[in-house]
Structure formats: structure tokens, C-alpha cells
């Protein structure tokens, strides 16, 4: 009787490493994630969840920017902060905690106001930008810098138990500015007319949020970042996921459409948010065409104007 042919099983097939389950996804390439350079702006409730997810997925080159210090009220919504961190800078505390989750990662913290202190060098370094912010001014600055450096960026916003996540592709209209309505521009012009008002607006940071919605929105943001790294984001370009749980206690709806909702902490456009609870794909089309037809056409011209951009923070390629 002929003995059965021997089969050699490699060690990697017997022993599962940290990222083995990810590699079961056919198109997954862990080395791409390890090499990708991610700029995270904001280390609050959203930023904590974004950074945690990046570390768990295996991103190893991360810069986190935030100017604020940790307050006790942050502890209920921030997995990377502990009681001992109260009074410390958010960016520095988040970076320290991230190194414990992923010792192999290179995480750099910048205690800086993204509008006042961060310029094109930082955006040029990044491959993808993920924001977890609470004001229009910072989003506007990120949008202009990302456009000039031809970088994609992902915006997230939360309020109460509602939230939105949006992807803005590199060099593709509509951009964030295209989604702003008349009320948004009036508020921006009022604050930007005075440097003192602008600085105060960027340091307010008092928004009603919960850890549950921050987990949901940050998860969507990082998921889209993964798709961008793997060049699988063609179906989510300049689009939005909207989760409105406050008025739908037994049902959470996620609508995919360009963001043109009413003004609020999200800094969006003028259309009433109640439209989200209707079938999104059909209800938004006419509004999108009407709102974006003219503004998208002028997107590049608007972004190439505006205030000057300094380059104080430049992150080296390592």
C-alpha cells in the first residue's frame, strides 16, 4: 500500500499572528496599512475612537493634532484617557496610550491649533487625513490644505446621539466648502473677520456627545480610510453616512448622500435634517443637483484663493 503523500504546513498557517484574521479578506494587504501615513486631527471623543481603531488595524505611522487639555468630563467618552491624565494635553496622552496598544507603531503628537499652527508640510506628509472636530473653521482649513496637497480627507461630527461621517476625495468636487450653506458662510465670515473671535471659536469644544455615537462614527471614518488606502473608495467619494438615533429609537438609518443638511454643530448646509428619515437615495437627488451644480463648478477657484498657509509643522517622512 502506497503511503499518502506528505503535506507541509507552514508555521504561518499553524500560528495566528495579530493580523491573521484580517488577511482572510482576499484583497487585504497588511503592509499597505503599515506604510500608510495617517494624520488625525482632534483627540477628543471621536479622535480617541479613531486612534484606537487605527492601532487595532495595524496602522503604524500616525500623527495626532490637538491643542486642548483633558478635563474630567472627557473621561466618559475617551477610551485612551484615564483619571491620571486630567490636565495633560489630549494629543500627548492619546499618543502614549496608543503606544501601549500598538508598541510597533510610530505615533507623534502635536500640541497645536490646526488653523493657527499647522500648514501644508503636515498635510503633504500624510496619505489620508481623518478629522474629529466640532467647528467649521478647522474643517474649512483642513479642506483647503487637503485640496492644495491633493490629499483625501474624512470628516466626522457628532452631537447628542446623532452623527455624520463624510469622505472628500483628493481633487474631486464637491468639497467641504461646496456643502456650506448661506448661514454657514455668514457665521464663518463673522468669526473670521476678527482673529480673536476665530481663536475663541476654535477652543470652545463644549458639545453634547456620548461614547456610543462616537464609536459608530469613528468606526465609519476609519473603515473609509482603509478603503482609501486600498483604493476601494470609489463608491463613497464626497459622500456621507448619517446616523440619526434620537428620533428613531428602534431603527438607525444610514443614508448615503452628499451632506447638505441644516446649520448646526456639524457646519452643514440649509436643507432640513428631517429629510434624512425619508428614503435617502431618491429624496436627495434633486436637492443635490440644485445645491451643488454651481458650487462644484467653482470649487477649485475658491480653494486656490483665501488666506495664506504657513508651514510651521512639518513631519519628516520617517
* pLDDT tens sequence across 3-30: 666 655 555 555 788 999 999 999 999 9
Say how far apart CA 239 and CA 309 lie, in whole Å.
27
Q: Residue 278: its pLDDT value, please?
A: 41
SS3 282: helix
**What pLDDT band is residue 182 in, cutting at 50, 70 and 90?**
confident
Which tops the pLDDT comparison, 316 or 118? Answer: 118
Q: Residue 212: its pLDDT value, please?
A: 92
Per mean pLDDT, which range of 162-166, 218-222, 244-248, 267-271 is the poorest? 267-271
In this predicted model, what pLDDT tens digit does every residue of 270-317 receive, in sequence order? 333 333 334 444 444 444 444 444 444 455 445 554 433 333 333 333
Give this prediction's pTM. 0.74
Question: Is the pLDDT assigned to residue 67 strictly greater than 60?
Answer: yes
All residues at 6 or more sequence positions from 261 whose CB lies less than 8 Å from its CB, including other chains: 164, 242, 268, 269, 271, 272, 273, 275, 276
* 8 A C-beta contact, residue 187 and residue 181: no
Say how far apart CA 15 and CA 4 lie, in whole Å.
25
> Mean pLDDT of all residues in the chain?
76
Cell 503604524 sits on residue: 60
- Compute the average pLDDT of residues 59-75: 95
How do 61-65 and 240-244 pair as beta strands? unpaired
Question: Is the pLDDT assigned to residue 122 strictly greater than 50?
Answer: yes
Which tops the pLDDT comparison, 267 or 25? Answer: 25
Structural domains of the chain ordered from first start: 29-303 (3.40.50.720)
Amino acid at each position: 500500500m502506497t503511503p499518502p503523500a506528505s503535506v507541509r504546513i507552514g508555521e504561518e498557517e499553524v500560528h495566528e499572528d495579530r493580523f491573521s484574521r484580517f488577511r482572510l479578506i482576499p484583497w487585504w494587504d497588511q503592509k499597505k496599512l503599515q506604510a500608510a501615513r495617517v494624520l488625525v486631527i482632534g483627540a477628543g471623543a471621536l479622535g480617541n475612537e479613531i486612534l484606537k481603531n487605527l492601532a487595532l488595524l495595524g496602522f503604524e505611522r500616525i500623527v495626532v493634532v490637538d491643542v486642548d487639555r483633558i478635563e474630567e468630563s472627557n473621561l466618559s467618552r475617551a477610551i485612551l484617557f484615564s483619571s491620571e491624565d486630567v490636565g495633560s494635553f489630549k494629543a500627548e496622552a492619546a499618543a502614549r496610550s496608543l503606544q501601549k496598544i500598538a508598541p510597533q507603531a510610530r505615533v507623534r503628537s502635536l500640541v497645536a491649533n490646526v488653523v493657527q499652527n499647522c500648514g501644508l508640510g503636515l498635510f503633504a506628509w500624510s496619505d489620508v487625513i481623518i478629522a474629529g472636530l466640532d467647528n467649521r473653521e478647522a474643517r474649512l482649513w483642513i479642506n483647503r490644505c487637503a485640496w492644495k496637497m491633493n490629499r483625501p480627507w474624512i470628516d466626522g461630527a457628532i452631537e447628542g446621539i446623532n452623527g455624520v461621517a463624510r469622505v472628500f476625495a483628493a481633487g474631486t468636487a464637491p468639497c467641504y466648502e461646496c456643502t456650506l450653506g448661506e448661514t454657514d458662510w455668514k457665521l464663518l465670515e463673522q468669526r473670521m473677520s476678527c482673529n480673536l473671535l476665530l481663536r475663541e471659536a476654535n477652543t470652545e469644544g463644549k458639545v453634547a456627545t456620548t461614547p456610543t455615537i462616537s464609536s459608530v462614527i469613528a468606526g465609519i471614518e476609519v473603515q473609509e480610510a482603509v478603503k482609501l488606502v486600498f483604493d476601494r473608495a470609489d463608491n463613497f467619494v464626497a459622500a456621507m453616512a448619517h446616523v440619526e438615533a434620537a428620533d428613531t429609537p428602534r431603527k438607525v438609518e444610514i443614508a448615503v448622500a452628499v451632506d447638505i443638511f441644516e446649520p448646526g454643530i456639524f457646519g452643514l448646509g440649509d436643507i432640513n435634517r428631517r429629510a434624512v428619515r425619508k428614503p435617502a437615495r431618491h429624496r436627495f437627488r434633486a436637492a443635490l443637483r440644485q445645491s451643488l451644480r454651481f458650487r462644484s463648478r467653482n470649487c477649485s477657484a475658491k480653494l486656490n484663493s483665501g488666506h495664506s498657509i504657513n508651514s510651521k509643522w512639518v513631519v519628516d517622512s520617517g
